[in-house]
Chain A
Amino acid sequence: DQQVKQNSPSLSVQEGRISILNCDYTNSMFDYFLWYKKYPAEGPTFLISISSIKDKNEDGRFTVFLNKSAKHLSLHIVPSQPGDSAVYFCAASAAGNQFYFGTGTSLTVIP
């Protein structure tokens, strides 16, 4: 049973606009959430994380929002750039132990 879900397999956004990638989880014990970016033929690269004691974490163009009551997190990329085109995975863990990943969202930023 998938504990972390990314319901949008793909997303296309114009360059300069906002990209919003969504992720839902089912396990209320999860307290550490991460986003990874993956280019073809490369391993995932850590992007940004958030702990359950926060509802927002920002790093440059990337912001992650956490809504614990809805068991939902999102990644905002502003402004989107063509180099952001990649597959994005969200992941979650309970106390930093086993990490559970979503199925990924393929983002295409159109120049």
Chain B
Amino acid sequence: DVKVTQSSRYLVKRTGEKVFLECVQDMDHENMFWYRQDPGLGLRLIYFSYDVKMKEKGDIPEGYSVSREKKERFSLILESASTNQTSMYLCASSLTTGGYNSPLHFGNGTRLTVT
């Protein structure tokens, strides 16, 4: 089974702090994704990466950056946390791009609260 591990389940940070959310997958998947989930808004894509050192903006990249130095690890960075970034953050991976047998596999999420 694919395992996607997010380093923290719960985080509380102060406004203005730099925040790192870490994600590791163990199945040699090419693609990795960061989503946030908010009530009534579903899952919205922040950034994704289809290869090491490659990144693509999703629908809501403002206020975020990412880093993918190794294939198995994808980090989400909040440069200066703000209260509107309080959310559930979900990391996901998929085997490859294209085709119909490559669903997203999600981690358990990080609940971030910015005060």
By a beta-carbon cutoff of 8 Å, the part of chain A in contact with chain B is: 4, 6, 9, 31-32, 34, 36, 41-46, 49, 51, 89, 91, 95-104
By a beta-carbon cutoff of 8 Å, the part of chain B in contact with chain A is: 4, 9, 33, 35, 40-45, 48, 58, 90, 92, 94, 96-100, 102-109, 111
CA gap between A45 and B90 in the complex, in Å:
12
Determine whether the beta carbon of A95 is less than 8 Å from that of B98: yes
- Given A41-B109, A43-B107, A44-B43: A96 touches B90 (CB 8 Å cut-off): no
Contact with B45, one of A9, A42, A98 (Cβ below 8 angstroms): A98
Determine whether the beta carbon of A43 is less than 8 Å from that of B41: no
Closest chain B residue to A100, Cβ basis: B45
Closest chain A residue to B48, Cβ basis: A98
CA gap between A41 and B109 in the complex, in Å:
7
- Given A96-B97, A96-B102, A99-B104: A42 touches B109 (CB 8 Å cut-off): yes
Determine whether the beta carbon of B97 is less than 8 Å from that of A43: no
- Given A34-B103, A43-B109, A45-B106: A98 touches B96 (CB 8 Å cut-off): no
Determine whether the beta carbon of B42 is less than 8 Å from that of A102: yes
Closest chain A residue to B42, Cβ basis: A103
Q: Which chain A positions have C-beta within 8 A of B98?
A: 95-97
Determine whether the beta carbon of B97 is less than 8 Å from that of A89: no
Q: Which chain B positions have C-beta within 8 A of A36?
A: 104, 106
Contact with B108, one of A43, A96, A98, A102 (Cβ below 8 angstroms): A43
Q: Which chain B positions have C-beta within 8 A of A6?
A: 42
Contact with A96, one of B33, B35, B48, B99 (Cβ below 8 angstroms): B99
Closest chain B residue to A48, Cβ basis: B103
CA gap between A72 and B97 in the complex, in Å:
24
Determine whether the beta carbon of B97 is less than 8 Å from that of A44: no
Contact with B100, one of A9, A43, A49, A100 (Cβ below 8 angstroms): A49
> Smallest distance from the beta carbon of B103 to chain A beta carbons, Å?
4
Contact with A89, one of B42, B99, B111 (Cβ below 8 angstroms): B42
Determine whether the beta carbon of B90 is less than 8 Å from that of A43: yes
